Amino acid sequence: ADPAGPSLSHLKASSLQNTYVSYTNPTQYHRTDHDPYVVCFDCHEIGHKSDVCPNKTSRCDKCGHNHSKDSDCELHPKCHNCGGFYVATSNDCPKRRIPPKRRATHTTTPPQENKTNKPAPTKGAPGPSPVIPTTPSRGAWSTPFCFTDTAAPVVLGTPSKKEAETPSATVELALWQSKIEARMTSVEITIKEMKQMLGTLLSKVNV
């Protein structure tokens, strides 16, 4: 190797697997792919290590299911991220080559559309501002009044007794009156029947 060229000692062994040296200049090297992203050994998610794992679920190192790691797993190896027939920490997983930001955008949920299908409002020229009618100020000692068709104001006073009576009160009063009359009639009939019974008893006693 040329001592003047760049040294490859700072590169990891795994990163040199897909590295080739230029034919024209052997001191230059090119990368065909970047290093795979880190995989958590607890939850098997991509993008963080096990010492900072935010998930509470620990998965099997072999099959990726939610059972204890200490148990002897007899299932076939299966990647938790892509479903391939290898463990999740394998470099063969294609999802380990996708940057975390791009993986966050790979969702199956379709974008939300405007369900109302209403056209957007267009901005036109501003119209005239509405006129708000003003009311005259009323002092603490002013007399309440209202305007009518005539020129002179009409002073509002307290309603009379007849005006205060509403039709519903009149109907209720008539209903109670009819009930009282019916009860008085029933009492009179009862008194007459009792007099007749008393007369009959007296006649029998005198005999």
pLDDT per residue as tens digits for the range 117-141: 666 666 666 666 666 666 655 554 5
Most confident of 9-23, 44-58, 63-77, 102-116: 44-58
Residue 31 in tokens: 């990368």
The answer to whether residues 91 and 79 touch, using CB atoms and an 8 Å cutoff, is: no
CB 8 within 8 A of CB 27: no
User: Angle at Cα 141 formed by Cα 136 and Cα 146, nearest 5°?
Assistant: 45
Q: CA 188, 189, 190 angle in degrees (round to 5)?
A: 90
Residue 56's pLDDT is 80
Q: What is the DSSP letter of 52?
A: G
- pLDDT tens digits along 33-84: 456 788 888 888 888 888 888 888 788 877 877 776 666 777 888 888 888 8
What are the beta bridge partners of residue 20? 30
- DSSP per-residue codes, 134-146: P-----TTPPPEE
Contact 188, 181 (CB under 8 A): no
Question: Quick one: pLDDT at residue 23?
Answer: 52
CA distance 162 to 158: 12
